Amino acid sequence: MACNSALRCFLDYSTSKVLVIQSNKVGAIYRLGQALVIAYIVGYVCVLKKGYQDTDSILSSVTTKVKGLALTNTTDLGLRIWDVADYIVPPQEENSFFVLTNMNITPNQTQSQCPENPGNETLCVSDRDCKRGFHDSRRNGVQTGRCVNFSESERTCEVFAWCPVEKDNSPPNPAMLAEAENFTVLIKNSIRYPKFNFSKRNILPHINSTYLSGCVFNRKTDPDCPIFRLGDIVSEANEDFQTMAVQGGVMGVQISWNCDLDLSEKSCVPQYAFRRLDDKDPDNIAPGYNFRVSKV
């Protein structure tokens, strides 16, 4: 109804009209719809998906300590014991560690003159084929300008280098440090959720020094032990340690913390997973993992 004056419109008061339908069918559908909405909000959003919860990104640090001994007896080195100082290179890395399992040894190298390894640019017939002062980053040294005997059938340019020069031989098979399969590594992982002021580490509160000194991770008997046998890490990824040790490889250890802080702190425990990260196809160029290092 239109207002006849501004004063009357200002003083008007209106209410909504409620229509009550006396129908069991309509009422049941209406209440069922309400129940479904409540069940979705409470059951699915709040209880199942925990939509009321907040999340936070984790801050994490990892340190490692490897233990184990190996005994080798080779022509180049004789009888030798290998400990952590020998096979961990470098001693500490960020969130990773390296264990030496195999090697090609060039013993007793000194800076002197010696034949270069045979190649397209190093094979020679006379001194005229060798250029004094020439060097190639893919080779081992600086040419002296002389053509010398490499073997009974080949002559190569002489170089000033660490002599004798390294030979590009296939690595020993089986691996020299095959015993590395039984080495162990203690992985210490500390985490923090800064938003919730919550910190924890993978050496859980119930682990004491006596248990830690003798345990080794096992999914069934010792799932909380932070000490891992290297052979077990590789086998968990469905790989063979002795095969991988020949050419080397890269393993990944994933530590997952999926913590629900509504529950007891005891339920917040790490879960471990293992996988091989490099391509193990032996037909690939430069398979495995390797580098050069000098040892006294």
**51-106 per-position pLDDT tens digit:** 556 677 888 899 999 999 999 988 878 899 999 988 888 777 778 899 999 988 88
Mean pLDDT across the chain, nearest whole number? 86
Average pLDDT for 210-234: 94
| Record: fold of 59-103+172-276 | atp-gated p2x4 ion channel fold (2.60.490)
Assess whether pLDDT exceeds 90 at residue 185.
yes
- Express as a percent the part of the chain with pLDDT over 70: 92
Tell me which long-range contacts 280-287 makes (C-beta under 8 A, separation of at least 24). Answer: 280/239, 280/244, 280/249, 282/247, 287/247
Per the DSSP assignment, residues forming a β-bridge with 43 are: none
- Between the two ends of the chain, the Cα-to-Cα distance in Å is 105
Q: Does residue 164 have a cis bond before it (omega within 30 degrees)?
A: yes
- Express as a percent the part of the chain with pLDDT over 90: 48
pLDDT tier, 144 (very low <50, low <70, confident <90, very high otherwise): very high
DSSP alpha helix (H) spans, the chain: 6-11, 24-39, 84-87, 209-212, 230-236, 241-247
Q: Does residue 194 have a cis bond before it (omega within 30 degrees)?
A: no
Assess whether pLDDT exceeds 80 at residue 15.
no
Tally of CB atoms within 10 A around 205: 9
Q: For residue 145, give both structure tokens.
A: 């300008």
